[in-house]
Structure 1
Amino acid sequence: MNIMQYQKIVRASALYDFIFTLPFLTPWTFLVLHKTLNAISPVPHFDPIHILFVNLFGSIVIVWSILRIRSPLPLYGFYDSIGRLLFSTWFFYNIVFYQAHPVLVLFAVLEVLWFIIQAYGYHKIRKNFSSTPSVAINDLS
């Protein structure tokens, strides 16, 4: 795998995040999402403090997505893979220990897949660069 291929992976994961996180960005878009999810399977009521944290989460993920879309550096893909490992851990924790909404299973699986794709891709390009003496590992950032 070369850097340009990996950058496409980083950008694709960022586009995925951007699209699927937009509903969490504002209280109004979250209300639409909440009603939609409730039509699929019951979801708990969200108090204003819960909506605040949902919107904070949505805001930071949107900003992180835009950064990776505009500048898909391999190092950002590596850090994103770590974030996805953490996200999938908490998704599966919620699925196992609480009455999780069925949509969480889908998101958990997608987070694991993006983690594997990005972590493996980063490993491959680091391996390629370490075998090329003329290129410093810092060129990956």
Structure 2
Amino acid sequence: MIRLFAPSHHAYLRVVRASAWYDLVITAGFATPWTYALVHDALSSLGEALGLGVLPALDPIQTLYANLMGSVVVVWALLRILKPLPVHGLYDGAARTLFSMWLAYAPAHGAPRLLWLFLVVEVAFGVVQLVPWWRARRSSLMDPAHISLPSTK
């Protein structure tokens, strides 16, 4: 199991690429003011239909931050789709840890509960991308060849 999803295994790179496709599909609409307005309306309608709350009214600052986030995530997603590397999974897992903290913080402080749906995916992709690195590091630390004993001079 550890070797199957080791950071250097091709199955791990498929996970890195899958998380990138998810990011591209979910965040492409955030990258421009015009598409963000459409996404904002769709998310508000979904939140209202599910009883999870609506997004606050659009304003220029909210749109700016959504566009900045969308633009950066689209570029990051394209990099991972076109040239997936194991280290991209490590960095993406770290970024998802940060995103997860903020996605949990916002609804805990009054933002629409609709954000919890995104949190589930962020945590899942974060775990799947970080655990192999944690296991690889742990197993390398447990390897007797990597243990140096103090000199007995």
Q: Distance in 1 between matches of 2:101 and 2:11?
A: 27
Q: Which residue of 2 aligns with 1:112?
A: 123
Name the CA shift for 1:81/1:108 in 2 (closer, same or farther; >3 Å). same
Are the equivalent residues in 1 in contact too, given 2:37–2:58 (CA < 8 A)? no
Q: Distance in 1 between matches of 2:34 and 2:77?
A: 21
Q: Distance in 1 between matches of 2:60 and 2:109?
A: 25
Q: Which residue of 2 aligns with 1:139?
A: none
Q: Distance in 1 between matches of 2:130 and 2:65?
A: 28
Q: Could you state the TM-score of these two structures normalised by the residue count of structure 2?
A: 0.77
Q: Could you state the TM-score of these two structures normalised by the residue count of structure 1?
A: 0.83
Q: Which residue of 1 aligns with 2:38?
A: 32
Instruction: Could you list the structure 1 runs, at least 4 aligned residues long, displaced by more than 6 angstroms after superposition.
Output: 127-131
Q: Which residue of 1 aligns with 2:151?
A: none
**1:126 Cα deviation after fit:** 5.4
The alignment covers a number of residue pairs equal to 131
Q: What secondary structure, in the 3-state scheme, does the structure 2 residue paired with 1:44 have? A: coil
Q: Which residue of 2 aligns with 1:136?
A: none
Q: Which residue of 2 aligns with 1:81?
A: 93
Aligned alpha-carbon RMSD (Å): 1.9
The answer for unaligned runs of 5 or more in structure 2 is 49-53, 146-153
Matches within 5 A, 1:51-130: 51-98=63-110, 100-124=111-135
Task: Indicate yes or no: 2:29 matched with 1:23.
Answer: yes
Q: Match for 1:11 among 13, 17, 23?
A: 17
Q: What secondary structure, in the 3-state scheme, does the structure 2 residue paired with 1:102 have? A: coil
Considering fraction of residues, name the structure with more helix.
1
**1:113 Cα deviation after fit:** 0.6
Cα deviations by residue, 1:27-59 (Å, 9 ceiling, x for unpaired):
111111111122232221121122111101000
Q: Distance in 2 between matches of 1:6 and 1:123?
A: 14
Higher alpha-carbon deviation: 35-44 or 53-62: 35-44
Structure of larger gyration radius: 2
